[in-house]
Amino acid sequence: MTADSFIAARVSSETKSRLRALAQAQQQSESAIIKSLLDSLMDDACGSRAVTIAEPAAPRGARLYIRLLPEDQRLLKERAAARQMAPATYVAMLVRAHLRDLSPLPKDELAALKDVVAKLGAFGRYLHALVRAVNQGSNPPDSMNASFHAMLRICKALHDHVKAVVRANATSWRTGQGEPNA
């Protein structure tokens, strides 16, 4: 049922204070408390349901509002955009990482690294099959030997690069940039 109508009522200051205290105690808005009470009253009048107060969808304190200086806001937008994230999501990940001492990878970055790892695994299996064939008596041509060493150098470089990306990511979450604080 959509809530498309508005009800207003004047009450004493004492009633308003008591309502505010009840709402804070139940971590709900004053409107939610009044709506629950009205729904319960209407149901009781029809005899269909006992008086209950609905649980809030999310506690009132679950949402956090902060004010940023314009320059900080600009930096936040830039860094969130660099990770292809909404600024609020970026801040939430940053706060969670700080509170839990984590170095999170956003979904896109994690997916890219998983893709690289999967491709390296497939490449490793292919190389293993080649080595097994050679060990069973096949004599590889010299060009294959050179190619094999070139592939090993590529794997080592890719390993070092991925390791550097992970390290830079962890550092960027701590300092907000790709380089540690000096």
Q: What is the mean pLDDT of residues 67-77?
A: 92
Q: How far is CA 60 from CA 27, 56, 66, in A?
A: 5, 8, 15
Cα angle for residues 165, 166, 172 (degrees, 5° grid):
85
On the 0-12 / 13-18 / 19+ scale of CB atoms within 10 A, 28 is: buried
Q: What is the pLDDT of residues 9-26, one digit of tens each?
A: 888 999 888 888 888 887
Interatomic CA distance for residues 84 and 105, integer angstroms: 12
Provide the token pair at 46. 């029809």
DSSP label of 19: H
Tell me the pLDDT band of 174, cut-offs 50, 70 and 90.
Answer: low
Q: What is the mean pLDDT of residues 114-124?
A: 80
Predicted pLDDT of residue 83: 77
Interatomic CA distance for residues 135 and 46, integer angstroms: 85
The average confidence (pLDDT) of the chain is 77
Phi, psi at 11, each rounded to 5°: -135, 165
Residue found by looking up tokens 């649980």 in the block:
55
Each domain of the chain, given as residue ranges in start order, spans 13-60, 64-102, 105-182
Tell me the pLDDT band of 120, cut-offs 50, 70 and 90.
Answer: confident
Cα angle for residues 100, 105, 111 (degrees, 5° grid):
145
pTM: 0.38
